[in-house]
Structure 1
Amino acid sequence: MNMIQAINSALDVMMARDPDVIVMGEDVGYFGGVFRATAGLQKKYGKTRVFDTPITECGIVGVAVGMGAYGLRPVPEIQFADYIYPALDQLVSEAARLRYRSAGEFTAPMTIRSPYGGGIFGGQTHSQSPEGIFTHVSGVKTVIPATPYDAKGLLIAAIEDNDPTIFFEPKRIYNGPFNGHWDRPAENWSRHPGGEVPEGYYKVPLGKANVVRAGEALTILCYGTMVHVCQKVVEEAGVDAEILDLRTLVPLDVDAIEASVKKTGRCMIVHEATRTSGFGAELSALVQERCFYHLEAPIERVTGFDTPYPHSLEWAYFPGPVRIGQALKKIMKD
């Protein structure tokens, strides 16, 4: 399966297992979603469990909070992560705090799915990476898969979790990781298939990172699309790097990060979001606090630039082979 198929399979599995799982959002019903992630679900489960909503993100998330408090497990889709901001008050002030403010009497077991990041020529309003905002909100979990297998397993785990979860799906790899050069978009439309994904039920636990490549000389912390970019760059550079796919930013697998950096003595952090106050800053602080006496070189960060999303220059904006390669040379030289 590719990632879209894996997400569709996860929703199908959970709707079959649990009648309280509800799918809702703009165009998710008859049309099956703009990326087809919900295709066929309304026909199979009916219009009361898979339904279209008005174009009101605040309303979508607000209704989902009420559904969760009532005992349902809503899975609302925000069509693009860029459109989630009108729902921030409902998410931050209501969903994130509900279990705490009610002393556990009510919960908000909702999973907000949303495509995020660039790479599809979507421009400034369809390409942002706002994950850092949500990792700052206590009471909300933040999940970003990098493979179809993880996408399905993590989504199932998120739906079964009793806390609200933001599930960001990197749309640049919806149809499988790119072939060709990561910094030349014209060559990137040739894609290979996704990966082996079981048809039935399984979970990937939240809060557990995945070592996608073992190494001894350097630790690279990344997630989402950047996992594939880093793999390709490291292979071409011939560096004995350990690549850690974080998978969930909250809860974060601190033990795995600490163990890897203490083993290698070097740390590079790569993400697509802007640099200032990006999640990489938190990772850098964590590594400095826990691994300072094991570090053999300063921590390197390779990120998007501190600019509004540059539509015409998005492939220069992404961390790619050139900038990651330069950071590799620098950190290995120290």
Structure 2
Amino acid sequence: MDPATRVHEAFLARVGAGNMPPVSGRAAAADLSGGDLLALFRAQVASRQLDRMARVLQSRGQGFYTIGSSGHEGNAAIAQALRVTDPAFLHYRDAAFQIARAGQMPGQTPLWDMLLSFTAASDDPTSGGRHKVLGSKALNIPPQTSTIASHLPKAMGAAFAVGMSRRMPLEAPEWPADSVVMCSFGDASLNHSTAQGALNTAGWTTYQGTPLPLLFVCEDNGIGISVKTPKGWVGDSLRTRAGLEYFACDGLDIVDTYKTARQAADWVRKRRKPAVLHMSCVRLYGHAGADVEASYRPKGEIAEQEANDPLIHTAARLMAEGVADGADVLKIYHDIWHEVESLAEKAAARPKLQTADDVMASLVPPARELPRLNGPSVQVREQMFGPADLRALDEPQPMNKLLNLGLADLMLATPGLVMAGEDIGKKGGVYGITKGLQARFGPGRVIDSLLDEQSILGLAIGMGQQGYIPMPEIQFLAYLHNAQDQIRGEAATLPFFSNGQYANPMVLRIAGLGYQKGFGGHFHNDNSLAVLRDIPGVMIGCPSTGADAVAMHRAAVRLAREQARVVVMVEPIALYPMRDLHEKDDGGWLTRYPDAGVEIAPGHLGMHGQGTDLAIVTYGNGHYLSRQAQARLAADGIDARVIDLRWLAPLDPAAIMAAVEGCDRVLIVDECRRTGSQSEALMALMVEHGRPDARRLSAEDCFIATGPAYAATLPSADGIVTAARDLCA
């Protein structure tokens, strides 16, 4: 007998025979009425019947997801203990939570909504048929997918943003300033580095005295797929967390769970500090429909878990307290099943997504209706900058200086813009790009974070959801790899899996790429953008001059604010202080601060020269080196134009092909590695658009060395000249 049928028949038999477990305490002592108990039981039963139906639908080829919530239904009582306006970042076994919360808001149809999700119907109100997700805009449940702790950092960020919204109010915050942010996860996920980092960051933050109204909920069923959690591990691990208040409850007892969850939520709401609720529970049916639990778990252990079915425990309480008798309990159980059956048949017949355009429609969130920002008055701006910086605005400057001034201008013009990162405040960043900004705008808007890239990006995601425009900084490009899933699996997917209902705009600044002379080797000279380029919906900019950097950052902030985009600005470290182009003290790479309102948006390429012999397509440091090569090639009689891409994702094929039009030859200069670099996509673009004559010069497939060989594996001006001569011979 399959486990779903076995648990189902056991429930019917035990309730019918009155073979119920003992009940301790009274619901009234926890301020739960008989009506409350019935509502919670209905939510639990609805969740259970959906699990059963998910397996039926899969057997018919009509359903596509069978990781259920059976055994975890105690979380319905946690929903009862929270407000509907409290954002909830849910574990994938929390259907009962969502159903119970739906019961607190009139007009909700959770059974129908979830069945549409099970059957991948295009009118699924959460994801639009893209994935089976828990989530609801109306219920303040942002959708999560495979929540193996990856949602904890952004829940932490959301709690930080909620706390901050009291000190730095927003015109239209997503959640009230007195909210508690709830985030649930499993006991196995506790061991993930992402969970450890989020828990550590929560404690670290509260040690700073910063408000963080966050309630972690660890749902401990004692096993992760097939690997058991050591007995006592979860409690001992969570109980000793610095900065986190610990609460524990029995998830089989909805009264104990409700009472403890309410205590925990009230504690967090009153103190604005994080806490963790450790809910013990069981896992029924195995991990998912295809999981044969008996192959790795003793039958006696499975039977013991099934005997502790939370529905039986809740039914026992209903009967013991005189709220319902056995016949009433069975009627509720059967009635909900019949409703699920009827709705499932209709849901399976609903239309599905059909085309690539249908699926891709929510990759980019819809534009937002926002008032234009006028920026600060002349007097405020002059007072903020001071005489020295005002003079600098009128004189040619290197990128690091102009970018510092440009970021200050953006902070003045955009009240909701908040920066966060390692050492960006008092120190002003490793390269001084944010120097003086914390003194000007305060530590609440220029945040010195702890050393954890996952938490920095999670902070940004959560703040973006609340309504801020976060500008996190990753100190070096190689450090992003520790936290890339926060962009790949969380930030970029939120509009997609919420059908555009949720978004987390941000402008992520990363100091990166190569050519730093003898400094730091690979981890401070990283020439690979592949980790970012293949993430759908993410925009990547790479300025090479100071003026371009300011204008591109202006565009990036506007895209984040008005279109809720995730924009990554990769700033070439080697070009931060660059002053000269051809000779010492020629000042050939200095630029002037762009006028107010000047932006460089995606698709606006930089064109240097009108030569027709050769088009050099490049970006970043490659732009600098190509400009050096351009002058040397002119002396050889080769008239070249240098095309600076500026924006690397998405590429604009029409703009690129228009830029090379009329040139006899095309050379692509790419400072990233030959494998997985931009040059691969550009070469394919050239071939697809009738330019198979194009050639490329890229970096070797190698890490970067420290010392004199820092540029040995990278393109050089000499190499560009040689490649161009060969191509034009």
Q: Do both share a fold (TM > 0.5)?
A: yes
Instruction: State whether structure 2 residue 145 is matched by structure 1 residue 145.
Output: no
Partner of 1:310: 705
Q: Which residue among 130, 134, 140 is the counterpart of 2:528?
A: 130
SS in 2 for 1:55: coil
**Partners of 1:329 and 1:41 in 2: CA distance:** 47
Letter in 2 for 1:300: R
Q: Which residue among 74, 89, 100 is the counterpart of 2:496?
A: 100
190 and 30 in structure 1: CA distance in 2 versus 1, 3 angstrom threshold: farther
Letter in 1 for 2:546: P
138 and 196 in structure 1: CA distance in 2 versus 1, 3 angstrom threshold: same
Kindly provide the CA deviation profile for residues 127-166 of structure 1, in whole angstroms up to 9, marking residues without a partner as x.
0022232111111100000111110010111112121111
173 and 220 in structure 1: CA distance in 2 versus 1, 3 angstrom threshold: same
Partner of 1:45: 441
Give 1:232 deviation, angstroms. Answer: 1.1
Kindly provide the CA deviation profile for residues 26-75 of structure 1, in whole angstroms up to 9, marking residues without a partner as x.
00011111111111111111111111001100110011011111111000
Partner of 1:163: 565
**Partners of 1:146 and 1:233 in 2: CA distance:** 16
Deviates more, 1:189-198 or 1:215-224: 189-198
Partner of 1:252: 651
88 and 52 in structure 1: CA distance in 2 versus 1, 3 angstrom threshold: same
Superposition map of 1:1-334 within 5 A: 1-120=397-516, 121-122=518-519, 123-161=521-559, 162-179=564-581, 194-198=590-594, 200-238=596-634, 239-292=638-691, 298-312=693-707, 313-333=709-729
Letter in 2 for 1:101: F
Structure 1 ranges of 4+ moved more than 6 A: 188-191
Kindly provide the CA deviation profile for residues 93-133 of structure 1, in whole angstroms up to 9, marking residues without a partner as x.
11111122212222121011111122222211100022232
Give 1:5 deviation, angstroms. Answer: 1.7
Do the aligned residues in 1 keep the contact of 2:622 with 2:670 (CA within 8 Å)? yes
116 and 189 in structure 1: CA distance in 2 versus 1, 3 angstrom threshold: farther
Do the aligned residues in 2 keep the contact of 1:175 with 1:191 (CA within 8 Å)? no
Letter in 2 for 1:156: R
39 and 5 in structure 1: CA distance in 2 versus 1, 3 angstrom threshold: same
Give 1:201 deviation, angstroms. Answer: 4.5
Identity in percent: 30
Do the aligned residues in 2 keep the contact of 1:261 with 1:267 (CA within 8 Å)? yes
Give 1:305 deviation, angstroms. Answer: 0.8
51 and 139 in structure 1: CA distance in 2 versus 1, 3 angstrom threshold: same
**Partners of 2:603 and 2:552 in 1: CA distance:** 10
Partner of 2:334: none
**Partners of 1:61 and 1:86 in 2: CA distance:** 11
SS in 1 for 2:662: helix
Deviates more, 1:169-178 or 1:51-60: 169-178
Q: How does the TM-score come out when normalised to structure 2?
A: 0.43
Kindly provide the CA deviation profile for residues 151-199 of structure 1, in whole angstroms up to 9, marking residues without a partner as x.
0010111112121111000111101244458xxxxxx899666211136
Deviates more, 1:196-205 or 1:311-320: 196-205
**Partners of 1:191 and 1:320 in 2: CA distance:** 20
Give 1:226 deviation, angstroms. Answer: 1.1
**Partners of 2:494 and 2:608 in 1: CA distance:** 36
**Partners of 2:654 and 2:606 in 1: CA distance:** 12
168 and 22 in structure 1: CA distance in 2 versus 1, 3 angstrom threshold: same
Do the aligned residues in 1 keep the contact of 2:418 with 2:469 (CA within 8 Å)? yes
Give 1:2 deviation, angstroms. Answer: 1.6
SS in 2 for 1:264: coil
Do the aligned residues in 1 keep the contact of 2:581 with 2:589 (CA within 8 Å)? no
SS in 2 for 1:252: coil
Deviates more, 1:168-177 or 1:29-38: 168-177
**Partners of 1:214 and 1:259 in 2: CA distance:** 13
Structure ID, larger Rg: 2
**Partners of 1:207 and 1:262 in 2: CA distance:** 16
Letter in 1 for 2:537: G
135 and 193 in structure 1: CA distance in 2 versus 1, 3 angstrom threshold: closer
Kindly provide the CA deviation profile for residues 242-276 of structure 1, in whole angstroms up to 9, marking residues without a partner as x.
21100001122322221233311321110111111
Structure with more contact order per residue of length (Cα contacts < 8 Å, sep ≥ 6): 1
Letter in 2 for 1:141: M
SS in 2 for 1:33: coil
Do the aligned residues in 2 keep the contact of 1:13 with 1:200 (CA within 8 Å)? no
Letter in 2 for 1:302: L
Letter in 2 for 1:260: A
Q: How does the TM-score come out when normalised to structure 1?
A: 0.91
Do the aligned residues in 2 keep the contact of 1:158 with 1:206 (CA within 8 Å)? no
